[in-house]
Structure 1
């Protein structure tokens, strides 16, 4: 690869619990590429807000936290100031706050370059909500991964129960519907498929089937 040619990127965008994180990780493993969980950066910022006592409505203060996050991604571990918070950032209150602050333009700007810095050879699989539209608009393959809201709520319920969290499926369903509306309706980088994205509905697909579909699409784009 020429030094002037950017590393290839596959972007996987979609609503919460569509399975994009799992699919991104597995596709990256198969290709031997790095993976970027962009949502983790917003969740880390949200966790920092909750722990610091910063007013979540103070846009500038939240953006400052985003700029100064001391974060290290180490395999399955996500270290914030040296503490593994991989489980803590998956709590629903953190996720809901992350969705709120993701609508703040200064926060998005603070995290934009940090996300782009993950683009290194041999390649990157990036998942989020605006990877294909804003962060990596030149990505050669953009996936928009969807699933019906009931299927997504059931997936998230299973994930949280397996991790020992006590949750109600009805509450998850309501939160997810509200988050979908907020993510799609925000003025800054709303959740929307890129014009050149391929939409995959994973409602009736297994994880392996979805991964195979993404890899086939990537293979089709190779010379």
Structure 2
């Protein structure tokens, strides 16, 4: 029996990570947070003051510092830099503002896409991002495209940041997400787009449990 591979794509703040993590928990398989992988590179760029537009500089960072993506001791997906877990540092506004521009660099994407594929070949996974069903795992067993309206996505992300101790303006965060939507949808390399065979779920006004129930019904695991 082969590995089960589930792809969940969608725009920033749609709840992909929360839903994918819960679906993986219910199924007892690994949740791969691909956004956290790009955030790991963004964190390095902040930490070592490399401009996000400087692809060569980012590639040098990836060469000089060991970014590790793996199942942690608790069973959850962890990102480490040079042996130190940095997962809890990856949702800051400063890191978030860099991710979209950084992820548009072809060679950075090539490196991380290959790492994502390697993970999907090692065990059953639920993987979320913006190009999982179209680029990373076009042959995934199941594909979902998760959406929500902009106001709700901004509220969710704002609450998430506040719960982790970060402070910021809701209005500014809403504009940041809207700008990221535009960049992600219009970039030339692996743009945000719904795979033709993906099932779209609008999570506006729905709880995480309700969205997960919809996905598990499709999988026949409800």
The alignment's TM-score, normalised by the length of structure 1, stands at 0.91
Equivalent residue runs for 1:11-160 within 5 Å = 11-66=7-62, 69-73=66-70, 74=72, 75=76, 77-120=78-121, 123-160=124-161
Q: Distance in 2 between matches of 1:123 and 1:76?
A: 13
Q: Distance in 2 between matches of 1:109 and 1:78?
A: 18
| Residue 62 of structure 1: how far off its partner (Å) | 1.3
Instruction: Tell me, yes or no, if the aligned pair for 1:9 and 1:119 is still in contact at 8 Å.
Output: yes
**Counterpart in the other structure of 2:220:** 219
Instruction: Tell me, yes or no, if the aligned pair for 1:17 and 1:156 is still in contact at 8 Å.
Output: yes
| Residue 77 of structure 1: how far off its partner (Å) | 4.7
Q: How many residues align?
A: 216
| Residue 55 of structure 1: how far off its partner (Å) | 3.0
Q: Distance in 1 between matches of 2:169 and 2:181?
A: 18
| Residue 209 of structure 1: how far off its partner (Å) | 0.5
Deviations 1:171-195 (A, max 9, x none): 1111111111011110000001001
Q: CA RMSD in A?
A: 1.7
Q: Distance in 2 between matches of 1:129 and 1:211?
A: 19
Q: 1:55 to 1:167 in 2, by over 3 A?
A: closer
Q: Distance in 1 between matches of 2:78 and 2:123?
A: 22
Instruction: Tell me, yes or no, if the aligned pair for 2:69 and 2:77 is still in contact at 8 Å.
Output: no
The alignment's TM-score, normalised by the length of structure 2, stands at 0.91
**Counterpart in the other structure of 1:203:** 204
| Residue 95 of structure 1: how far off its partner (Å) | 1.3
**Counterpart in the other structure of 1:179:** 180
Gap runs ≥5 in structure 1? none
Q: Distance in 1 between matches of 2:147 and 2:204?
A: 7
Gap runs ≥5 in structure 2? none
**Stretch deviating more after TM superposition (80-89 or 27-36):** 80-89
Q: Secondary structure at the match of 2:215?
A: helix
Q: Distance in 2 between matches of 1:12 and 1:171?
A: 26
**Stretch deviating more after TM superposition (85-94 or 37-46):** 85-94
